Amino acid sequence: MSDNLQIRQPQDRLRINVHEPWELNWWTREFGVTRQQLEHAVRQVGVMTSAVRQYLGK
């Protein structure tokens, strides 16, 4: 099943899809971080939202 780009929030909130620019934008607003900070966090701990949230201290 492909992502519906008309939806303004991720379909799977357990994972961060770093290959979709609109989703990166959504997560940066959600966490209150820059795109670079988010990408760095994902490289460090993976795509699971809970791990990224913990890494960012959110």
This prediction's pTM: 0.80
| The pair of three-digit structure tokens given for residue 20, joined into one six-digit string | 């979709």
Question: What is d(CA 45, CA 53) in angstroms, rounded to the nearest whole number?
Answer: 10
**19-35 pLDDT, tens digit each:** 989 899 999 999 999 99
pLDDT per residue over 35-55, tens digit each? Answer: 999 999 999 999 999 999 999
Q: What is the pLDDT of residue 6?
A: 62
What pLDDT does 58 receive? 80
What pLDDT does 41 receive? 97
Tokens of 30: 């959600």
